[in-house]
Amino acid sequence: MGASSDLSELAPAPASSRRTRLRDYQAQLLARMQAAQEGAAQR
């Protein structure tokens, strides 16, 4: 119980949500770049 409260204090909700959003955004960009490269290679 104490550990969970410490974690919440160390990592507030807004900061963690921002990190996850950045990760998702970067992942989408990587996927798009890879798809574009594959499409160009297939051509």
* pLDDT beyond 90 at 16: no
Enclosing domain of residue 29: 2-42
pLDDT band (50, 70, 90) for residue 37: very high
**Confidence (pLDDT) at 18:** 83
Please state, in angstroms and rounded to a whole number, the distance separating the CA atoms of residues 10 and 43. Answer: 50
User: Residues 21-35: pLDDT tens digits?
Assistant: 899 999 999 999 999
Average pLDDT, whole number, for the chain?
78
Place of tokens 């499409």: 39
pLDDT band (50, 70, 90) for residue 2: low
Domain count, the chain: 1
Helices (H), 1-43: 2-10, 13-42
